[in-house]
Amino acid sequence: MFVIATKEFLEMMKSFKALLVIALLVLSSYFASSFIASAPAEFMMGTDAYTAVIRLFLLGFGFVFVLMLSHDVMSREVASGTMRLLITKTSRIAIIGGKFLGIAAFWLFSLGVSLAIISFFAKELPWLAFLQLYSFLLFIIGLCLLLSTLAKSPNVSLLIGLAVSFIAPIIGIWSTFSDKAWLQPFKYILPYRYQTAENVSLFVPVLFGIGFLTLATFLFKRGDY
């Protein structure tokens, strides 16, 4: 599992994706913090202006980032035939578990470094925001693995990824602030409302992420490749 995780992590790091993500988070945080500082307190969600920008950025574009970088994490290997070779060498659980850990490690690194850099300007380490945001990202990573397992080609996973990246933030944010009955399930399923949680409920998105991963593993274990 850790061999696959290392491969996945290093491949993401090598392709400048990490640099791009960190640069986007840090630069947007640095330049937009003064604008956010003058906005209503709800936008701050209990943190400093720099962290608030990173949070808003990820709430709006987190799905896009994760899904566009990793939508083909499984489907690419299936389409290229390398999945068959991997399956002959190790267990299917090790493959999918390794992929999850690799992407999770990439985002742990990217988010950690970004928050560490802005903590120099903010003069504090935003631990709670880090946990809330990483929990949010683990939800998306689990969903990404599930979608990539369901799609048998990178084109299909890209299409599904784009659709989810567009729809999930709209419904997630809308449902958080809406009382409409049909939106209520999304309020609890999607990871947005847990962003202000300061107790154990901030880890609810992680449970959903693990749930998606479990479902993906179940499907992957049953499938012919």
The residues that touch another protein, with contacts defined as CB under 8 A, are: 3-4, 7, 80-82, 84-91, 222, 224-225
Minimal distance in Å, beta carbon 212 to another protein?
23
d(CA 145, CA 7): 16
Nearer to another protein (CB atom), residue 40 or residue 81: 81
Nearest Cα residue to 145 out of 217, 197, 59: 217
Minimal distance in Å, beta carbon 204 to another protein?
33
- The helix-helix angle for 92-122 and 127-150 (nearest 10°) equals 150
Nearer to another protein (CB atom), residue 7 or residue 17: 7
> Which CA distances in Å does 176 have to 115, 160, 181?
25, 23, 12
Minimal distance in Å, beta carbon 90 to another protein?
5
Nearer to another protein (CB atom), residue 121 or residue 225: 225
The answer to whether 55 and 45 are in contact (CB under 8 A) is yes
Minimal distance in Å, beta carbon 69 to another protein?
17
Nearer to another protein (CB atom), residue 91 or residue 201: 91
Render the burial of 64-80: b for 16+ CB within 10 Å, e for the rest: bbbbbbbbbbbbbbbbe
Minimal distance in Å, beta carbon 9 to another protein?
14
- Number of other residues whose CB lies within 10 A of the CB of residue 62: 24
Three-state DSSP class for 98? Answer: helix
